[in-house]
Amino acid sequence: MSETVATVAQGAPNVPGAARPAVVLLSGGLDSATVLAVVKAGGFAPHALSIDYGQRHRAELDAAARVAAAVGVAAHRVVRVDAGQFGGSALTDAAIDVPVDGVSPGIPVTYVPARNTLMLALALGWAEVLGASEIFIGVNAIDYSGYPDCRPAFVAAFEVMANLATRAGIEGRRLHVRAPIIDLDKSQIIRLGLSLGVDYAQTVSCYQATDDGLACGRCDACRLRRDGFERAGVVDPTRYRD
């Protein structure tokens, strides 16, 4: 058992035949697919939650459904929250071009305002209904594009808020927000996922994938993903347009 899975398993029930529910945010990309596999291997009954937030394509939501079925989840829900009506991001506003010239310092135009906050809030609501104490998110603070809501400080702050704002927290059933790959680089994430049987060919990470999931190979997400496979020393199974 890997160190990451062992850490997650510490919060799972130590009762034969029991599987405590946990909510896992599942985008359909490489990182969240890995986290879902980690949670399943850690002994939880994962309830996968995908958010249709008005992103440019539905390919990643289709990928999320494939990944959820392949890993085996207790349930998979897709919730629509149209952040695209506000605009302000290349991922939700077709008038803003997705950058294709390489990863640059600073917060890029692909940042979606409050996206992870919205997603975690919805995951929190489902967790309360399920009686789940664990919420998992696949944010990463090493190989990422500078998003402020992928940092450890954000995850910790949301956990504090969750325990102040919910019936569960007030009544003493502490809620935990887990980010098990936050300190791993992309190559480490890939190696971890492969060790757990994740089929990365089923995932979609591209910011501007085609309807059938073909990746552009040029956006930040594609560059980070491809570099991760190269550094991991394994074949990249991504389907690119060219």
The structure tokens 């992928």 sit at: 150
* CATH number of the CATH domain containing 139: 3.40.50.620
Q: Which domain holds residue 54?
A: 3-232
> Which element (helix H / strand E) includes 51?
strand 45-52
Q: What is the pLDDT of residue 10?
A: 63
Q: Would residue 13 count as lying in a domain?
A: yes
How far, in Å, CA of 61 to CA of 67, rounded? 10
Q: Would residue 32 count as lying in a domain?
A: yes
Q: Would residue 239 count as lying in a domain?
A: no
Q: What is the pLDDT of residue 1?
A: 61
Q: Would residue 237 count as lying in a domain?
A: no
Each residue's pLDDT expressed in tens, for the chain with a length of 242 residues: 677 776 776 655 544 456 899 999 999 999 999 999 999 999 999 999 999 998 988 999 999 999 999 999 999 999 999 888 888 899 998 889 998 987 777 888 899 999 999 999 999 999 999 999 999 999 998 876 689 999 999 999 999 999 999 999 999 999 999 999 999 999 999 999 999 999 999 999 999 999 999 999 999 999 999 999 999 999 999 999 97
What is the domain count for the chain?
1
Count other C-beta atoms under 10 Å from residue 87's C-beta. 14
Q: Would residue 212 count as lying in a domain?
A: yes
Q: What is the pLDDT of residue 15?
A: 43
Q: What is the pLDDT of residue 146?
A: 84
Q: Would residue 238 count as lying in a domain?
A: no
Q: What is the pLDDT of residue 94?
A: 87
Q: Would residue 107 count as lying in a domain?
A: yes
Q: Would residue 241 count as lying in a domain?
A: no
**Contact 39/8 with Cβ under 8 angstroms?**
yes
b/e 51-66 (16+ beta carbons within 10 angstroms → b): bbbbbbbebbbbbbbb
Q: For 156-206, how does the pLDDT look when each residue is reduced to its tens digit (9 = 90+)?
A: 999 999 999 999 999 999 999 999 999 999 999 999 999 999 999 999 999
Instruction: For residue 95, count CB atoms less than 10 angstroms from its CB and return exposed for 0-12, middle for 13-18, buried for 19 or more.
Output: exposed
